[in-house]
Amino acid sequence: MRNLRIIFATLLSAACGVALAQPLPSGPSGYKPKEAAFGKHFMVAAANPLAVEAGRAVIARGGSAVDAAVAVQMVLNVVEPEASGIGGGAFILHWSAREKRLRVYDGRETAPAEATPDLFLDAAGRPMPFFDAVVGGRSVGTPGLLAVLALAHQHHGKREWGELFEPAIELADRGFPVSPRLAILLERERFLANDPNARRLYYREDGKPRSEGEVIRNPELATTFRTIAMQGPSAFYTGEIARDIVRAVRTHPTNPGYLSLADLAGYRPVERKPVCGRYRGNRICGMPPPSSGGIAVLQILGILENFPMASVAPQSLMAAHLFSEAGRLAYADRDLYVADSDFVAVPMRGMIDPAYLAKRAELIHLTESLGRAAPGVPPGAARPSPAGSPERISTSHFSIVDAEGDAVAMTTTIEYAFGSRIMVRGFLLNNQLTDFSFAPEEAGRVVANRVEPGKRPRSSMAPTLVFDRSGALKYVLGSPGGSLIINYVAQTLVALLDWEYSAQKAVSVGHFGSRNGPTELERGTEAAGLARGLGLLGHDVYVMDMTSGLHAVERVPGGWRGAADPRREGSAAGG
């Protein structure tokens, strides 16, 4: 029936001059195309070639996927400081090929014990302007990155902890050239130079930011890494480093925060159960709350399961319409129900229940947009107030498969670009607390994602593993991009599983989707050419930049193939 309705809608649209099913060329213009990498035994795909090489070298010496993840992350802290680092947090999915076991590690930051629900309200009780909240100590949560990496390394590491810091220490000591992306972000940045430590590192004496190709040395970070390499993560969470972090947060000159030594010493990563579902016979697994990413990706796919997407021309108007409508429905549920499940009852099973998603799919009209979708009532749901937060575009993701077939999908962040703009001992601190809802109540009801002591703010990060019908690992992927991450990952999965794109082609296509607002199309891509047709279907269209940073690994005959998003500076390498 769906096939017949789509054929009818296609004929109808042709009569109206709307090319619903005409396929478009794919890929963003203005970016240099990238070639996929092949590795017979292992593969690393990450946001910077120096980080990729560090991970590749670790595996080549007999290291595990987690060993490589530690090395990759530390190098990213040096060369991509705006996105992630030890001052932030991460989510890790780990697959053990020998045990056939998937484990999920939550290293999300937590709110300080002194934080209150009105943390981001001004003196009049109104939500603060975003940057007034971000810049300074108020936005800093307890960093979880080192703790979660240490936990994963304890379970899955093969090489010594300290050895994994060596590539990053060498780069920080001898220096690295400013990448094009870092140069652009520094040029646009308004607040970072106000921090004296960051100003000395990233700006010249005349106050201008460092240019592309200039070499930056970060000996302070090298010293910090040496201490953590020798003494372990406890050197970060207690002692002099911890005291410096707390001092910087609590004595910020314009916006002090509440992080304490007790918060740092008491931080613990959490091992959680993955959230998994089926799509076209494949098993898709992702991150559960406090991330909304895993649930929302599965909701989009579960809704699209009710449409023959393989019969819809890739990158066509019909594809964009259906995908955007599914996104509206998923984001509507996300915004209402998802927050830290240690504090809020999240109806995870009900939200991804196939019968519930089939009912949601019935709301989609093939020739007319829903507009703004209302949340549904999944089985087991209560009805808290919407949990909105201004989650912004930053973060990094890497995908790794080692020589044993074990895999890591890790999404890592300090939240907004350059985080809180506070630099301590060579690294930047996060502004993760601004991922909470600024308003603790709405229409007289408590908001699910409000600030509470010890709580983890909601995220959209969506590290993802895909297994085929036999249970074999098929894809490892994820992306940065704030709340856009969900659409980036879901669209990539449709391209891989419905349209049978290669991983490199799938991460390169022009983006489209909706976060239950306007239908967003990627500027500079063929997807932007769908604007008129979507408008005729009732979509409110917004053409915008979408700098995803998808990094994927796919199983292919004879080995693994790695793919890096052409929108960023990443690469892939195997062996």
Please name the helix (run of DSSP H) or strand (run of DSSP E) that holds residue 399, with its range, or none. Answer: strand 396-401
Mean pLDDT of 211-236: 98
Order the strands of the 541-544 sheet from edge to edge: 512-514, 519-522, 541-544
Closest CA to 421 of 146, 179, 135: 135
In a domain, 331, yes or no: yes
Q: Does 264 share its domain with 118? A: yes
* Cβ(44)–Cβ(398) below 8 Å: yes
Q: Specify the residue for token string 């979880």.
A: 144
Same domain, 266 and 277: no
Whether residues 104 and 166 fall in one domain: yes
- The answer to whether the beta carbons of residues 413 and 291 sit under 8 Å apart is no
* pLDDT given at position 244: 98
**Do residues 328 and 418 share a domain?**
no
Judged against a pLDDT cut of 90, whether residue 29 lies above it is answered with no
Q: Which pLDDT score is estimated for 24?
A: 41
Question: What confidence tens digit (pLDDT) does each residue in 499-511 have?
Answer: 999 999 999 999 9
Whole-angstrom distance, CA of residue 553 vs CA of residue 42: 10
User: Of 395, 413, 434, 525, which one is the catalytic site residue?
Assistant: 395
176 and 292 belong to one structural domain: no
pLDDT at 409 over 80: yes
Has residue 477 been placed in a domain?
no
How far is it, in rounded angstroms, from Cα 460 to Cα 483? 5
| 268 Cα distance to chain centroid | 21
Q: What is the pTM of this model?
A: 0.95
- Same structural domain for residues 368 and 290? yes
**Is there a single domain that holds both residue 63 and residue 125?**
yes
365 domain residue, yes or no: yes
- Between the CA of residue 463 and those of 263, 276, 357, 423, 442, what are the distances in Å? 27, 12, 22, 27, 31
What's the pLDDT score for residue 443? 81
In a domain, 466, yes or no: no
Per the structure, the complete domain to which residue 492 belongs is given by 2-31+273-388+483-574
Question: Same domain, yes or no, for 501 and 432?
Answer: no
| Strand order across the 551-556 sheet | 37-39, 559-564, 551-556, 473-477, 464-467, 282-286, 275-279
Q: Is residue 475 part of a domain?
A: no
- 343 belongs to a structural domain: yes
Q: Average model confidence (pLDDT) for the chain?
A: 93
**472 domain-assigned:** no
Quote the pLDDT of residue 444: 83
Domain boundary among 406, 422, 457: 457
Q: Would residue 413 show up in a list of annotated catalytic residues for this protein? A: no
- Cβ atoms 345, 389 nearer than 8 A: no
User: What average pLDDT does range 230-236 have in this prediction?
Assistant: 97
Whether residue 75 is predicted with pLDDT greater than 80 in this model: the reply is yes
Q: What angle do CA 287, 289, 293 make, to 5 degrees?
A: 50
Final residue before a domain boundary, out of 457, 472, 500? 457
For residue 547, the domain's CATH number is 1.10.246.130
- The pLDDT of residue 16 is 37
Closest Cα to residue 341, out of 267, 376, 290, 293?
290
| Cβ within 8 Å of residue 250, ≥6 positions away | 137, 256, 257, 258, 259, 260
Residue pLDDT, tens place only, 454-487: 999 999 999 999 999 999 999 999 999 999 999 9
Domain boundary among 442, 457, 472: 457
pLDDT score at 18: 43
* Tally of structural domains, the chain: 2
Q: Does pLDDT of 40 surpass 60?
A: yes
| Whether residue 541 sits in one domain with residue 526 | yes
Beta strands in 24-181 (DSSP E): 37-39, 43-46, 89-96, 101-107, 176-177
- Runs of H (alpha helix) within 97-165: 130-134, 145-156
The H-or-E segment that residue 277 falls in is strand 275-279
Could you tell me if 435 and 526 lie in one domain? no
438 shares a domain with 515: no
Residue positions counted in the chain:
575
Do 120 and 253 fall within a single domain?
yes
What's the pLDDT score for residue 14? 40
Q: What's the pLDDT at 384?
A: 62
Evaluate if residue 25 carries a pLDDT over 60: no
Cα separation, 52 vs 551, whole angstroms: 11
What's the average model confidence in pLDDT over 283-304? 98
Which of 91, 185, 122 has the alpha carbon at shortest distance from 413?
91
In a domain, 463, yes or no: no
pLDDT at 445: 85
With cut-offs at 50, 70 and 90, classify the pLDDT of residue 267: very high
